[in-house]
Amino acid sequence: MKSEFKDYLHLHFLVLIWGFTAILGLLIVVPPVEVVFYRTLIATVGLGILIFLNKVPFRIEKNEIIKLLLTGSLIASHWILFFASARVSTASVCLAGMATTSFWTSLLEPFVLKKKIKWYEVFLGLLVIGGLYIIFHFEIDHALGIFLALISAFLAALFTVINARFANTHHHHTVTFYEMLGANISIMLFFPIYKYFIAENHQLHLNLSYSDLLYVSILAIVCTVYAYSASIEIMKRISAFSVNLTVNLEPVYGIILAVIIFGEKEKMQGGFYIGASVILISVLAHPFLNKYYHRKFLETDTLR
Residue 216 pLDDT greater than 90, yes or no: yes
**pLDDT tens per residue across span 52-73:** 988 888 888 999 999 999 999 9
| Measured distance CA(52)–CA(246) in Å, rounded | 32
Structure confidence at residue 298 (pLDDT): 58
Structure confidence at residue 255 (pLDDT): 78
Structure confidence at residue 130 (pLDDT): 86
pLDDT band (50, 70, 90) for residue 169: confident
Residue 34 gets the label, from left (phi > 0), alpha (psi -120 to 50) or beta, of alpha
pTM (two decimals): 0.84
Least confident of 101-105, 265-269, 296-300: 296-300
Q: Are 221 and 43 in contact (CB under 8 A)?
A: yes
Q: Could you tell me which of 49, 42, 10 has the C-alpha nearest to residue 230? A: 10
Structure confidence at residue 277 (pLDDT): 81
Least confident of 151-165, 186-200, 205-219: 151-165
Q: Which of the two residues, 113 and 250, has the higher pLDDT score?
A: 250
| Measured distance CA(64)–CA(60) in Å, rounded | 7
Mean pLDDT value across residues 273-280? 80
Q: Which of the two residues, 224 and 79, has the higher pLDDT score?
A: 79
Structure confidence at residue 279 (pLDDT): 76
Residue 297 pLDDT greater than 70, yes or no: no
Least confident of 171-180, 247-256, 290-299: 290-299
**pLDDT tens per residue across span 81-115:** 999 999 998 888 888 788 778 778 877 877 776 77
Mean pLDDT value across residues 237-245? 71
- How many residues in the chain? 304
Q: Are 233 and 168 in contact (CB under 8 A)?
A: no
Structure confidence at residue 181 (pLDDT): 96
Residue 171 gets the label, from left (phi > 0), alpha (psi -120 to 50) or beta, of beta
Mean pLDDT value across residues 25-34? 93
Question: φ, ψ for residue 205 (rounded to 5)?
Answer: -105, 80
Structure confidence at residue 57 (pLDDT): 82
| Measured distance CA(9)–CA(32) in Å, rounded | 30
| Measured distance CA(127)–CA(123) in Å, rounded | 6
Structure confidence at residue 87 (pLDDT): 92
List the domain boundaries for the chain.
Answer: 2-303
Residue 1 pLDDT greater than 60, yes or no: no
Q: Are 246 and 11 in contact (CB under 8 A)?
A: yes
Q: Which amino acid is at 231?
A: S
Residue 275 pLDDT greater than 60, yes or no: yes
Q: Which of the two residues, 241 and 180, has the higher pLDDT score?
A: 180
What's the angle, vertex CA 179, arms to CA 173 and CA 182, rounded to 5?
Answer: 140
Residue 304 pLDDT greater than 60, yes or no: no
